[in-house]
Chains A and B, each alone.
Chain A
Amino acid sequence: MKLKWKKVLSVAILPVLMLSLAGCGGANTDSSASTAKQVTIHVACQEHPDVDALKELLPSFEKQYGVKVDLNVLPQQQLNTKVEIALASNSSDYDVIMMDDMQTAQYAKAGWIVPLDTFINNTSLTNKSKFNESDFLKGFLKVLAVNGTQYALPFYGESTMLFYNKEMFSKAGISAPPQNMQELEADAAKLTGNGVYGIALRGSRDINWYPWAGFLFAFGGHWLDANGKPTLNSPAAVQATQLYGKLISKYGPPGGASFDWNQVQLSMQQGKAAMIIDASNFGPRLEDPKESKIVGKVGFAMVPAGPAGRFPSVYTAGLAIPKGSKHQADAWKFIEWATSKQTQLESAMKVSRADVTRQSVWEDPAYTQKYNNKDMMQIAVKSMNLANPDYLPRIPQFNKLSSIVGIAVSKVIAGTNAQTAMNQAQDAAIQLFK
């Protein structure tokens, strides 16, 4: 009898378990249905100080609009992967996504994100004068649009500039920041030694193409020619890559081949690197005593010029609405709020933000009072105004193209001849456009 009961139990337990699992599922859907009156929108966004500030401000949005906001914060690389999978399956997981401006063409062409113009022009949703689209910096709007259709609004934006350690410069007997590429290389060589490295740049193959492109243009190179054919092994591109690789491998901190923006910023903050060329929004963080050891010693300059001129980058993280979202109107309200003058200004008061995207915020007295470092602000604004919207090619294949370049640059840093690496990249890129 005892044995029998054991048998009964063992067989009976399984269906019970299954039922209970099913029960769980049922209970879940029920509970979400009962709270459906209060809409929750799910926002996928980058791990970024600006997002931290936004999180603190969320209660005011939720109170004002009666919409709950769930922020899914992920590091940039993982975010892109996760979001793209969600977009491709047309899922309703996210109502708002944060995306790199370079992805706009790809996402728009795939029909993954909805044009925002319908929301902007819908007077019942948007108060046009309050929204004031022309207040956004032109360059940022442009890179988030395809053929004049706006697909995302700029949440934060930046350009590249040169940061240098004034103390190290005077120690090495250099009086002014490098103005051109020859000076950059010579200064980097002079500054390297005694535990200090001349320059830190992004070396990681995932992201090195971003500062690299500034070198490319400075030497007169281009990603693509006028016909859209890749020109990655042009003499200019090879020269640019060679210099970029040399700066990292010879005058950069060890392990620079795997640096992304975080490590670049850290090596400057820690007083390991004498110069960096990176995002303009590093400025306040280099001057933040909580993070940085070089407060008060930071100099700011435009990126050095090459034979073809000076080419600061443009990058902006945009907020867009996936096609699969079931709460698009609420999502739009969130985007409008998150990019509004008031929200940007308030978040700039909470964290270090030299990356706001509205002219009116840059000019606001409260903002200029907090960010009173004239040099930094002037250089940042000057760089953003000079920035070329075609800094990165706005093509659907950009993801793959940048990966090809990233690998080539990474190889050059690790010691491969620049001509060889760029020839390989050119071949791979031609394959890509076939």
Chain B
Amino acid sequence: MYSKQCKQWWATIRRVLTLETRLAPFQLLGPLIIVLFAITIFPTVYAIWASTLYWHLDVSAKHFVGIANFQHMFYDLRFWNAFKNTAIFTVGSLICELVLGMAIALLMVNSHFGSRLSKSLILIPMLSTPVVVGLMWVLLYDPQFGLLNYLFNLVGLPRQSWLASEHYALVALIVIDIWEWTPFVVLILMAGLQSLPSDIYEAARCDGAGAWQAFRNVTLPLMKPFISIALVFRFMDAFRWFDTIYVVTKGGPGIATENWSMYGYLTGFSYLNMGYSAAMGVVMLIVIIAISQLIIKRLFTGYNN
């Protein structure tokens, strides 16, 4: 009797464990949903709630202020400066990375530049830790001991301190981003190029298309989805770039390289104004979603038509 019940129990447990009951979907999705809720959904909702509060960490009382934090942005010049820097930085690095990435990918696909060795070598910048990349470039840019200034000296140009200049510091950061992330674009575009069918090119050649025409009218339209993927990924990354800036300039000199992430971080963790910081985060999230959607929709529908 006892052993029979035991057997039944065991059978039930086994059916649950082998996903043969109706519990199966919950078993499979449950852990994922819990994790997702804990690390994504809850923080997002919490941030949106926080963005409606007057909440300074050094003032114990927090209270609801509605959209006051968002209103404050309109006349906060530093916020708009951060926006300008984010925009310049994102657009500048995106354009350079795409053009350069496409050029390198074209060079590497179907040619001896595309050997396995060079393919692995080109990935090195992307694989390095952003903080290490930052420290390395600080050394390269160093006005006294940096390699770049040594080269400048060799050809008779005066020493430069780019990172200390209000005009060039942002450009210097864009160069770092290009160096670090062009390989990523190359990787995606090369995969795309390799998947293109060759018969279309044959047809184009029969119609008398030259190399440029083939690129302009065949390669580019076919590559749209790959370009849009690269664009979306790089856009989202560049838009919220933080780590390397923190290491290289910390937003200085003045506020010349302070982007949204940097300003948001300082507002929250240095000035302890959590409400305003959260509001900036929410605005950033909305802008990122809106622009990524735009990129995906435009480029993908273009392909389908």
Residue positions of A touching B, CB distance < 8 A: 4, 7-8, 11-12, 14, 81, 84-85, 88, 106-107, 109-112, 203-206, 253-258, 272, 396, 399-400, 403, 407-408, 410-411, 413-416, 421, 424, 428
Please tell me which one of the listed residues B17, B58, B164 contacts residue A106 in the complex, with CB atoms under 8 A apart. Answer: B58
Question: Does B253 contact A414, Cβ atoms closer than 8 Å?
Answer: yes
Quick one: closest A residue to B164, CB to CB? A257
Q: How far is the CB of B19 from chain A (nearest CB, A)?
A: 6
Question: Does B60 contact A110, Cβ atoms closer than 8 Å?
Answer: yes
Q: How far is the CB of A252 from chain B (nearest CB, A)?
A: 10
Please tell me which one of the listed residues A7, A110, A204 contacts residue B59 in the complex, with CB atoms under 8 A apart. Answer: A110
Main secondary structure of the interface of A (DSSP, over half): helix
Question: Does A396 contact B254, Cβ atoms closer than 8 Å?
Answer: no
Quick one: closest A residue to B20, CB to CB? A7
Write the B133-168 contact mask toward A (1 if CB under 8 angstroms, else 0). Answer: 000000000111000000000000001010111100
- The segment from B101-109, B122-130, B269-277, B290-298 that touches chain A is B269-277
Question: Does A12 contact B57, Cβ atoms closer than 8 Å?
Answer: no
Question: Does B142 contact A414, Cβ atoms closer than 8 Å?
Answer: no
Task: Categorize the interface residue count of chain B.
Answer: 20 to 34
Question: Does B17 contact A12, Cβ atoms closer than 8 Å?
Answer: yes
With a cutoff of 8 Å between Cβ atoms, the chain B residues found around residue A403 in the complex are: 266, 270-271
A-B contact pairs, 13 of them (CB 8 A): A7-B18, A14-B31, A84-B58, A85-B269, A111-B60, A205-B253, A254-B161, A255-B142, A396-B58, A411-B256, A413-B253, A414-B256, A416-B166
Question: Does A254 contact B269, Cβ atoms closer than 8 Å?
Answer: no
Q: Report if B250 contacts A (CB, 8 A).
A: yes
Main secondary structure of the interface of B (DSSP, over half): loop
With a cutoff of 8 Å between Cβ atoms, the chain A residues found around residue B266 in the complex are: 403
Question: Does A258 contact B249, Cβ atoms closer than 8 Å?
Answer: yes
A205 to B161, CA, bound (A): 16
Q: Report if B217 contacts A (CB, 8 A).
A: no
A261 to B14, CA, bound (A): 67
A416 to B272, CA, bound (A): 28
Please tell me which one of the listed residues B78, B159, B251, B254 contacts residue A414 in the complex, with CB atoms under 8 A apart. Answer: B254
A254 to B159, CA, bound (A): 9
With a cutoff of 8 Å between Cβ atoms, the chain A residues found around residue B269 in the complex are: 81, 84-85
Q: Which of B226-263 contact A (CB under 8 A)?
A: 249-256
With a cutoff of 8 Å between Cβ atoms, the chain B residues found around residue A255 in the complex are: 142-144, 161, 163-164
Question: Does B27 contact A415, Cβ atoms closer than 8 Å?
Answer: no
Please tell me which one of the listed residues A88, A204, A414 contacts residue B272 in the complex, with CB atoms under 8 A apart. Answer: A88
A11 to B253, CA, bound (A): 55
Please tell me which one of the listed residues A11, A107, A205 contacts residue B254 in the complex, with CB atoms under 8 A apart. Answer: A205
Question: Does B163 contact A112, Cβ atoms closer than 8 Å?
Answer: no
With a cutoff of 8 Å between Cβ atoms, the chain A residues found around residue B161 in the complex are: 254-255, 257
Please tell me which one of the listed residues A12, A111, A400 contacts residue B271 in the complex, with CB atoms under 8 A apart. Answer: A400
Please tell me which one of the listed residues B14, B27, B143, B254 contacts residue A410 in the complex, with CB atoms under 8 A apart. Answer: B254
A411 to B163, CA, bound (A): 13
Quick one: closest B residue to A272, CB to CB? B144
Question: Does B18 contact A4, Cβ atoms closer than 8 Å?
Answer: yes
A85 to B277, CA, bound (A): 14
Q: A11-B17, A403-B270, A415-B166 are in contact. Are A204 and B57 (CB under 8 A)?
A: no
Q: How far is the CB of A430 from chain B (nearest CB, A)?
A: 13
Question: Does B58 contact A8, Cβ atoms closer than 8 Å?
Answer: no
Q: A254-B143, A255-B142 are in contact. Are A8 and B254 (CB under 8 A)?
A: no
Q: A254-B144, A258-B163, A414-B164 are in contact. Are A8 and B14 (CB under 8 A)?
A: yes
A178 to B40, CA, bound (A): 60
